Structure 1
Amino acid sequence: MQIPPQQSVPELDAPGDPKAVTYSPDGRSRPGPGTFSVTAPDHTRITALDMACAPRCAVAVASDGSTATARLRPGRWTYANPVTIRLQANLDAPLSRAQYTGTYTAGGESQPLTVVITQGKQGGLGLTSKDAPDSNGAQVATTVPGGPADNVGIRVGDTITSLNNTPVSNAAELRAARIGKIRSGATVPLTYRQPNGTSRTVQVTLT
């Protein structure tokens, strides 16, 4: 016999507020220790693990939200209360709508932890580019004042050589590294070369 599955599959927006996934109790008594663990689905983080057992249990959520655990006091225990996991989508989620699955385990029995991350808005850099003369990057032709590129110090004449850890050797590759892949609001690394040859890597937030 397995623990009951989650009650519903939430749809998470990125960016967006956390949403709850609840697992119903089965009322069965088990030998101790009573342990619970959660592994977040890809591109999500756990913001809270609500056990309805305080002060009889210790709950811990990893600083990056990737996992959470709870442990009851020693001795036999009964799975008598619902468990609610609150999840938030990360801005590094792919742009397209997709389903992701983690794991919820109670007393050694596991169930999938499933969410859907909704379609995102395409992120932009606030610049135009052309092929660099040396065919080694995308040279910035224009920037939007106050736009993402302008805000991190990128200027006309600079050459972008990498976006989100994807090498860029021309303007088409810069577009391919962004279109359909990076959401508005996501912050990603961008490496560029200044006309004097100095290379810099910055964190740019797309809009």
Structure 2
Amino acid sequence: MPATAFSASAAASAAASAPSQARSLPPQQNVPDLDAGGEEKTVDYPPDGQRYNQPSSISIQAPPYTRITGLDLRCTGMSCPVQIAPDGRSATAQGSASTWDFLYPFTVHVVADIDAPLAGGTFTGSFTLNGVTQPLTVNIKPGIQGIIAGNLRNTSPPGGGVRVLAVDPGSNTQAAGLQPGDLIVEVAGTLTPTVNDLDNVLRGKRSGATYPVTVRRAGALVTLQIPLDPEP
């Protein structure tokens, strides 16, 4: 018999005579450690082994700085379509059977965003089954401070932007198109009149995260998408 969390019951007559009662969704079995920008991990909610005499309804809110990429309900004998929001921040599912057995785990697939806080930490969303809610908790691992890899200097006098004297060979910064002679004037929507301002914008941002960097080049403004390099 295939594994099924939502198993439509064939014993409809017996279920019809069974009294309706509140169920408790068991808490998640595992708390995954996620690498920001890394591969997806799973969270399992174990079955309670009970028969439900009402259609099923699931609603999930992803923990902060994460996205839902999949939801395995292991349905058989009934329809239970899953809908995941385009941004992955939430998901819903509905079961079509009015009587079903909760026999196998629900599995939520999650990934951590590359722009998660540098320090990482524990973050919690929610998993709700028929009005009963349990936390959906993940750990996000600490990251490495990101930088724009090159020799950067203030203009003279300071305040006109950050001059690029050289770009580190083989770096993400070089691959993204930053060039010696460019004048960095804005990063991630914030003006950078000095190196200190640039450092403040990048502080706490992870290596690997991509941000728009606007430079003045040959009298024109050019915006580059630069994945930050790891701080040495």
| TM-score normalised over the length of structure 1 | 0.88
- Which residue does 1:27 correspond to in 2? 49
Gaps of 5+ in 1: none
Provide runs of 4+ in structure 1 moved above 6 Å: none
Q: Answer whether contact 2:56 2:95 (CA < 8 A) is retained.
A: yes
- Which residue does 1:13 correspond to in 2? 35
Q: Does 1:149 align with 2:191?
A: no
User: For residues 32-47 of structure 1, what are the structure 2 equivalents within 5 Å?
Assistant: 32-47=54-69
Q: Offset of 1:170 from its aligned partner?
A: 0.7
Equivalents in 1 of 2:152, 2:174: separation in Å?
A: 13
Gaps of 5+ in 2: 1-22
- Which residue does 1:117 correspond to in 2? 140
The percent identity for this pair of structures is 38
Segment of structure 1 superposing worse, 83-92 or 54-63: 54-63
Equivalents in 2 of 1:166, 1:99: separation in Å?
A: 29
For the structure 1 residues 43 and 161, does the alpha-carbon distance in structure 2 shift closer, same or farther, using more than 3 Å as the test? same
Q: Answer whether contact 2:178 2:224 (CA < 8 A) is retained.
A: no
For the structure 1 residues 187 and 53, does the alpha-carbon distance in structure 2 shift closer, same or farther, using more than 3 Å as the test? same
SS in 2 for 1:92: coil
Larger Rg: 2
Equivalents in 2 of 1:30, 1:190: separation in Å?
A: 55
- Which residue does 1:194 correspond to in 2? 217
Select 1:169's aligned residue among 189, 193, 200: 193
Q: Offset of 1:195 from its aligned partner?
A: 4.2
Q: Offset of 1:31 from its aligned partner?
A: 4.5
User: For residues 56-205 of structure 1, what are the structure 2 equivalents within 5 Å?
Assistant: 56=78, 57-133=80-156, 135-179=159-203, 181-196=204-219, 198-205=220-227
Tell me the alpha carbon deviations over residues 66-124 of structure 1, each in whole angstroms, 9 at most, x when there is no partner. 22221111423343331111111111112112111111111121111111100112223
| TM-score normalised over the length of structure 2 | 0.79
Q: Answer whether contact 2:121 2:141 (CA < 8 A) is retained.
A: yes
SS in 1 for 2:146: coil
- AA in 2 matched with 1:122: Q
Q: Offset of 1:55 from its aligned partner?
A: 5.6
